[in-house]
A = this chain, B = another copy of it.
Amino acid sequence: MAEKKKIVIVGAGPVGSLAALYASSRGYEVEVYELRGDLRNAETTPLNFTKSINLALSERGINALRSAADETLLNRLLAQTIPMHGRMIHTRSATGALSQQSQLYDVHGRFQRSVDRGGLNDILLDHLDSLPNVTFFFQHKLTGADFRQKKAWFEVMNKSTPSSGRAREIEIDFDLLIGADGAHSAARFHMMKFARMNYQQDYIDCLWCEFTMPPTASNEFAIHPNRLHIWPAGNFMFIALPNLDKSFVCTLFGPVELFNKLEAGSDKELVSMFDKHFPGVSTHIRPVDLVAQFKRNPHLPLVNIKCSPHHYGDSVVIIGDAANAMVPFYGQGMNAGLESVRVLFAKLDESQNTAQALAAYTEERITDAHAIADLAIANYIEMRSSVTSPFYKLRKYIEESLDKYLPALGWATQYSRVSFSNMRYSEVIQRSRRQQFILTWILRSSVLVGLYGGATILPYLLSRRSQRFLGRV
């Protein structure tokens, strides 16, 4: 190119870092501005401790990394993860005994990965540091932007600056600004002054609080390391994801009313709530620590954000949570964010005209962004209660049997399409609706043929005749 174009990225989290990697490999001059201090310094306290430190990484996240990272880098990134082959459902039987039920994610053995946000981010930042055309500016807060003149203003913060004090402000130019600065995006806020952006944010009636389950005395994982553990309790739940250091990051999710009750109640009440609904947890996290962590760690809300468009002209585009924050129940937040980087640069690669490329990105991505946001909400219901229902298990069994024995039919569960494929989220929903229709018919039939209909239907389905009837779904 005659003159190297300059891409400014706001936000140095996993999504912003990956965008920097994509931009760098295409020869752009890349500047990354981050509100916080260098995320690799241990003393960098997040300004808003509002993000879980553990995330699920699945195929579409890995695919987006794969398209930009060489094998060495990809392997270093994946070394930060622990495979989770399925859910482990913790309940108490009628006799009061602890019960653990393993539900594998995929009949073909594919799995989710539990990943430490910081570890993944550090490796990306280290790698970007070695690239000649990427420069970082930490402690730079976006305070304004003119997306017609392609100028942005950042406040240069330093530790001695009180939050209400005044600091130095710098003005920078750019050809394209990419906002990857999270759900409370300043880039989006300033873009909204230029784009006629339809925007919707909805808080669900659910708060969350993080806990840590330490390794055992003999330094082993306290519970199965390769599972996403769930203690479902109707309209609330407790979950646990494994860490590399053999601890687990756990999260309590529940309605505001439950949190209010627990906050107002005694320590003893908190512990008995755990013992009643989350059997076994207090043997792995000491009751005194449960109480201390509930009091110390923030109780945070969950927001669902949809907006359109995701760009303005040829000068700004928002990606990741900035454009598409979702509730965490499908484990797709970071995956969707990383995928949005891949899709964005695919559009930029396809067209010489940046405005057209960004418009094409918005058009394709919004459909998928809305789709995964809706799926994430729906999965909350499934995780906190449906996982234990007999109907849910029967349906899962039938769907997975179809997936396992009839791959030629193209049958797959919604979960596996979302987590183990790169099919567009919107297409996943369409396919699932078709399968749902057929499955409802199967389930109705199975009731007719008797109590074991769910199992006996399989030989029928395996016949050539039903294959012709079902077609390729």
Interface residue ranges, A against B (CB under 8 Å): 144, 153, 163-166, 168-169, 171, 184, 189, 193, 196-203, 301, 303
Give CA–CA (A168, B200) in the complex, Å: 34
A418: min CB distance to chain B, Å = 26
Q: Which of chain B's residues has its CB closest to A163's CB?
A: B144
A197: min CB distance to chain B, Å = 7
Please give, as numbers and ranges, the residues of chain B lying within 8 Å of A171 by CB-CB distance: 164
Contact B189 A164 (CB under 8 A): no
By secondary structure, the A interface counts as strand
Contact A144 B164 (CB under 8 A): yes
Please give, as numbers and ranges, the residues of chain B lying within 8 Å of A163 by CB-CB distance: 144
A184: min CB distance to chain B, Å = 8
Contact B301 A196 (CB under 8 A): yes
Give CA–CA (A203, B153) in the complex, Å: 27
Contact B199 A200 (CB under 8 A): yes
Q: Say yes or no: A198-B202 contact (C-beta < 8 A), given A153-B164, A164-B169, A169-B164.
A: yes
Which 5 A-B residue pairs are closest in the complex by CB-CB distance? A196-B203, A200-B200, A196-B301, A198-B202, A199-B201
Contact A166 B164 (CB under 8 A): no
A158: min CB distance to chain B, Å = 15
Contact A198 B189 (CB under 8 A): no
Q: Which of chain B's residues has its CB closest to A165's CB?
A: B169
Please give, as numbers and ranges, the residues of chain B lying within 8 Å of A200 by CB-CB distance: 199-201
A307: min CB distance to chain B, Å = 9
Give CA–CA (A165, B203) in the complex, Å: 36
Give CA–CA (A200, B196) in the complex, Å: 13
